[in-house]
Amino acid sequence: MTEQLFLADAYRKSAPGRVVALTEEGGIILDRTIFYARGGGQPGDSGTLDWSGGRIAIATAVKGEDGAIVLVPAEPGGLPSVGATVDQRLDWDRRHGHMRIHTALHLLSVVIPLPVTGGAVGAGKGRLDFDMPEAPQDREVLEGQLNALVTRDLPVSEMWITETELDANPGLVKTLSVQPPRGAGRVRLVQIGAGAGAVDLQPCGGTHVARTGEIGKLRITKIEKKGRQNRRVTIETV
């Protein structure tokens, strides 16, 4: 299992790691990584690996078997050997864009308190699909509510609960299409706001900013019909 350093510190831009395996397809598995693996609508991170005598660009990271995270090279080339120590460096601007948008989508699920049927995170924009038969007529009001939560500069924190505790509180899960990963015995929750001032609490394994003020101003760019019951709401940073 790869130690997921990004869960403890989403702002870490570099870290050493040791190569524990290479896949048949040319993927690289480290003992610990700062690269987020694609999942939950958020893309895998990109960046570079450096080692004695070599460097390779990483296009993305994906989940492998038994909890491994596989770093996928951008193009074929020389790979570090198993046992080698490498220096990992993120494409920070891209990752930070994902952090801002992912947190903003949590806020969007607050101002539109309906079940979420899908979503996608980008570096400058993202979207959520809602179980919403009729499109809202007050886009400007929703946008104002969204930006009001941003400007409150609410803290974003995490906590862990057991799978049994999650089963006892099914309302924590907002997404109909993606369920929290199970099997490890515990589930990570992301909270926006603190104490009685918390505005959101839901399971999430993604990376987020530390405070909502870091997101910056947001714009709702589109509200589209996607099927009889679904509406897709797209947001972007301004």
* pLDDT of amino acid 52: 95
- Which pTM value belongs to this model? 0.94
β-bridge pairing 32-33 and 3-4: parallel
* pLDDT of amino acid 236: 98
Tens of each residue's pLDDT in the chain, 238 residues: 999 999 999 999 999 999 999 999 999 999 999 999 999 899 999 999 999 989 999 999 999 999 999 999 999 889 999 999 999 999 999 999 999 999 999 999 999 999 999 999 999 999 999 999 888 878 999 999 999 999 999 999 999 999 899 889 888 888 876 667 666 688 999 999 999 999 999 999 999 999 999 999 999 999 999 888 899 999 999 9
Domains of the chain: 3-90 (2.40.30.130), 95-237 (3.30.980.10)
